[in-house]
Homo-oligomer: A and B are copies of this chain.
Amino acid sequence: MLELAILGLLHEESLHGYELKKRLDEMLGALAGVSYGSLYPALRRLERAGAIEALDPAEPVSPFPVTGSISGETAAARVRRRLTPSRRKRKEYRITDPGVALLQELLEAEQGADDDRGFAVRLAFCRYLDTEARLQLFERRRAWLAEKLDRVRNALTPTGNRRRLDLYTRSLMEHDDEVTRRDLEWVDALIAAERAGAHEVSHTPITSREGQ
């Protein structure tokens, strides 16, 4: 899970551990608040496995030489902190070709792809899958949610041997029911969008958000 996320982030851009954690925290919901005691060992494992490699700090990797302004990022950076924040003892990692293959593999893996966290992380990087694999991921999630909804519904209906629930437990289950139904609708929308070919996934209209 963590390794999947690391590979996913490094596929976009080379990063060092500390920065990686910040990205992970932004990606929250899933994987927010992962600890360094977990992150750094994961990086070493991936490095030993050849999925990522540490960059030589002497020669920077950017396609452009690092002489002066680096695209538009500079203007914003100047405001918040000085230029060239670089060169601590930090180790920047880059994903390797086998690493990209591993990312694909982990994204498609069935192991733990169903639960909330597993799905969230996979969805965050599913742009690296082809449409078919993506649909497979969505359908699996859908089935899982449908099953979950079924179980809640079953626990909620007073069929036969069912013990009666206290009000708090009942409220919990009703809420669970509602949330799961919404999750299902969402996944259905993702599937529909994927099938339509157009990736107009950003469906959520939501009650006017002029507040901020």
Contact = CB atoms under 8 A, between A and B. Distances in A.
B178 A204 contact: yes
A174 B202 contact: yes
Contact of A202 (B157, B167, B203): B167
A8 to B, nearest CB: 10
A166 B183 CA distance: 20
Nearest to A122: B168
A127 B174 CA distance: 17
Contacts of A143: none
Given A161-B80, A178-B182, A202 B169 contact: no
A148 B153 CA distance: 28
Given A174-B202, A186-B175, A201-B171, A127 B166 contact: yes
Contacts of A120: 172
B212 A157 contact: yes
Interface stretch (A24-32, A40-48, A62-70): A24-32
Q: Is the interface of A mostly helix, strand, loop or mixed?
A: helix
Interface in A25-60: 26-29, 32
Contact of A204 (B32, B157, B161, B174): B174
A200 to B, nearest CB: 8
29 contacts: A27-B155, A28-B148, A28-B151, A29-B173, A29-B176, A73-B161, A76-B161, A77-B161, A80-B160, A123-B168, A123-B171, A124-B169, A126-B168, A127-B167, A153-B212, A167-B199, A168-B190, A170-B202, A171-B201, A171-B204, A174-B202, A174-B206, A175-B204, A178-B204, A178-B206, A179-B179, A179-B182, A179-B183, A182-B182
